[in-house]
Amino acid sequence: MDRTGEQDADGRAPAGETLRQAQRRRAEQTSERLRRRVDHLRRRLGRDAEAVAGTESGVAATHLTLAERALHEGRLEDALGLLSEAAAALHAVEHERLRAARWRSEAALAAAEVAAAEVADAEGRRASAGRALDDAARRGEQAARRRDAAALYRDQAAHQRDDAADERDRQARERAAAAEQRQASADERTAGRVRWGERAAGAPEDDEQDAIDREVDASHRAWADDDRARASADRAADAADRLAAERDRVAARQDRESARTDRDRDRRDRADRSRHRDGR
């Protein structure tokens, strides 16, 4: 048998009952059965004592009748013996009636003690239940305050992520504008290199001038390549910033949803605790 404890009369253990609870329930049931048995025996003893007293009363009455007859007939010794027997029977009647009264008194006292113990036990259980409810309410309030703080933190984090997303969007726009400017500069340098080449082609041949032209052309070409590389880097950074901004916005929405869930749970918990307090 597992830890669910005692089985019911139909052979099945009560659902959710632990071994300790089952042992306690069985002990309470056994105690109740014994208490009823004791009460039953006390009442039976009282009735038996009353019955014995009634029988002895009949015996005493019979002896008295016989003693009166013996006196009337002049049988003094018989009358004396019968009177002694009647007195003994009456003494037995008194004894049995006292015993019956004692059993009734003890039974009533035991019943009163059991009732008082049951009342005290019920009060103790009620007090324990009240303390347990108060402890649960206090823990619930503490958990609610923690969830409120977490919800506030999530709201603040959501605002911060929104601000970060806006800042990344702004930086992305600036980089996009810078990329366009660098692309325009690269195009302008390429055009200048072409114009310089055309002018150099129309000029008289000169080795020194050719060297200068080649140097200028190489410079324009390097500047244009650098501008294009920076433009590509700016576009890549722009795409990364936009992606990060979108992730921040998604995280902000999740934080707000979690905060709403926490607040809804707090409202339900407080309503439940209020109903429990009203029920008590």
Band of pLDDT at residue 205, cut at 50, 70 and 90? low
* Torsion angle of C-alpha atoms 264, 265, 266, 272, degrees rounded to 10: 110
- Shared domain for 30 and 80, answered yes or no, is yes
Residue-range definition of the domain harbouring residue 224: 148-279
Integer angstrom CA distances of residue 251 from 5, 160, 162, 257: 49, 11, 9, 10
Identity of residue 100: A
Q: Is residue 261 part of a domain?
A: yes
Give me the mean pLDDT over the 1-10 stretch: 43
* Mean of per-residue pLDDT scores for the chain: 69
Last residue of a domain, one of 83, 114, 146: 146
Total-model pTM: 0.35
What's the number of domains the chain is made of? 2
Q: Is residue 9 part of a domain?
A: no
Provide the token pair at 183: 């692309």
pLDDT above 70 for 5: no
Give me the mean pLDDT over the 219-230 stretch: 70
pLDDT digits (tens, 9 = 90+) for 29-49: 876 776 666 565 556 555 555
Identity of residue 13: A
pLDDT digits (tens, 9 = 90+) for 50-105: 665 566 666 667 767 777 777 777 777 877 777 777 777 777 777 777 776 776 66
Whole-number pLDDT of residue 280: 54
Band of pLDDT at residue 118, cut at 50, 70 and 90? confident
- Shared domain for 65 and 109, answered yes or no, is yes
Whole-number pLDDT of residue 7: 46
pLDDT digits (tens, 9 = 90+) for 121-146: 778 777 777 777 677 667 767 776 77
Last residue of a domain, one of 146, 175, 193: 146
Band of pLDDT at residue 262, cut at 50, 70 and 90? confident
